[in-house]
Structure 1
Amino acid sequence: MAHTIAAFRRILASSSSTIVSSPHSSLFARFNSTLTSPKLFISGLSRLTTDEKLKEAFAPFGSLVEAKVIVDRACGRSKGFGFVTYNTIEEAEKAREGMNAKFLDGWVIFVDPAKPREYKPPQQEQQPSNTGGYTTNKTIGWCG
């Protein structure tokens, strides 16, 4: 009985190591992918990164639908993140594995699955408060 248990342990140990080190481990990882859409969220972008530079960096992994750096409306400067969209989830997974924690324009970027946009109900305009003849402005913004 002890011999059978030891043999069983050897079989389990050898099979688990072959799954991890097999050349098909990327295929195994693809089935366990957390991606549900071919859209990726790219964070840690340099302020100098443009749409074109982002497209050039991610083009080797598949056919791109869109590469967009998000910019501040007031300043026109990059907010430090963007989105890349591929035709298929497999291409997006390759790009995620290939570009995560890599340098782009001197900065380390991080590639994650993009989350779907949440619906935000439109805000109602607030009436300015009138206290003693003074009006207060509650709009605060900074772009520096």
Structure 2
Amino acid sequence: MAAAVARSGLRRMFSISEFATPNARMFSIPAFAPQNPPTPPPKADPSPNLFVSGLSKRTTTDGLREAFAKFGEVVQARVVTDRVTGFSKGFGFVRYATVEDAAKGVEGMDGKFLDGWVIFAEYARPRPPMGEPTSQPQQSWGTPSGSWGSHSR
């Protein structure tokens, strides 16, 4: 008997009949409302510096330089690597001699395969000056109410 009452209580609790009216909004709790998606950062102005993402762990600086040298004079190429493992972090930078060569490099390599991976090439955005806040908003979860490790005795 108690099990039957418990089952019917659960059915009532999880019933959606009260939400079945056409004007009722399901899940209208503001805390669970979706936030506006973040706006993507603006495209960088054309410059001789390119940011290349989607690189394979096997891609080397020389391989990156050779791939982009087909489209103009490469002054510098660098694959950013992990300090501990020495493997690629999946992105790098290429600097061309002119903005025109950089435009050809973006057009020629964006969305193409390099070492078996599709890579993306775009103009690099300048690094913000030290001490200046970034344009990306930081997520704030409020101030902590206490410390995990502190115990009052």
TM-score of the superposed pair, with normalisation by structure 1? 0.59
* RMSD (CA atoms): 2.2
The structure carrying a bigger helix percent of its residues is 1
Runs of 4 or more above 4 Å deviation: none
CA distance in 2, matches of 1:102, 1:39: 18
Residue 98 of structure 2 corresponds to residue 88 of structure 1: yes
Aligned partner (choices 52, 60, 63) of residue 50 of structure 1: 60
TM-score of the superposed pair, with normalisation by structure 2? 0.56
CA distance in 2, matches of 1:75, 1:118: 28
User: In 2, are the aligned partners of 1:63 and 1:86 still within 8 Å (CA)?
Assistant: yes
The percentage of aligned residue pairs carrying the same residue is: 55
1:104 maps to: 114
Note the residue ranges of structure 1 that are not aligned, 5 or more in a row.
1-33, 122-129, 133-144
Residue 71 of structure 2 corresponds to residue 61 of structure 1: yes
What SS is found at the alignment partner of 1:120? coil
What SS is found at the alignment partner of 1:101? coil
Question: How many angstroms does 1:40 deviate by?
Answer: 0.4
User: In 1, are the aligned partners of 2:50 and 2:121 still within 8 Å (CA)?
Assistant: yes
Note the residue ranges of structure 2 that are not aligned, 5 or more in a row.
1-43, 132-148
User: In 2, are the aligned partners of 1:71 and 1:77 still within 8 Å (CA)?
Assistant: yes
Q: How many residues matched? A: 94
Residue 91 of structure 2 corresponds to residue 70 of structure 1: no
- Kindly provide the CA deviation profile for residues 10-59 of structure 1, in whole angstroms up to 9, marking residues without a partner as x: xxxxxxxxxxxxxxxxxxxxxxxx64310000000000000000011011
The structure carrying a bigger strand percent of its residues is 1
User: In 2, are the aligned partners of 1:55 and 1:67 still within 8 Å (CA)?
Assistant: yes
User: In 1, are the aligned partners of 2:55 and 2:118 still within 8 Å (CA)?
Assistant: yes
Q: 1:89 to 1:51 in 2, by over 3 A?
A: same
Q: Which structure: larger Rg?
A: 2
Residue 50 of structure 2 corresponds to residue 40 of structure 1: yes
Residue 124 of structure 2 corresponds to residue 118 of structure 1: no
CA distance in 2, matches of 1:82, 1:60: 17
Q: 1:79 to 1:60 in 2, by over 3 A?
A: same
What SS is found at the alignment partner of 1:117? coil
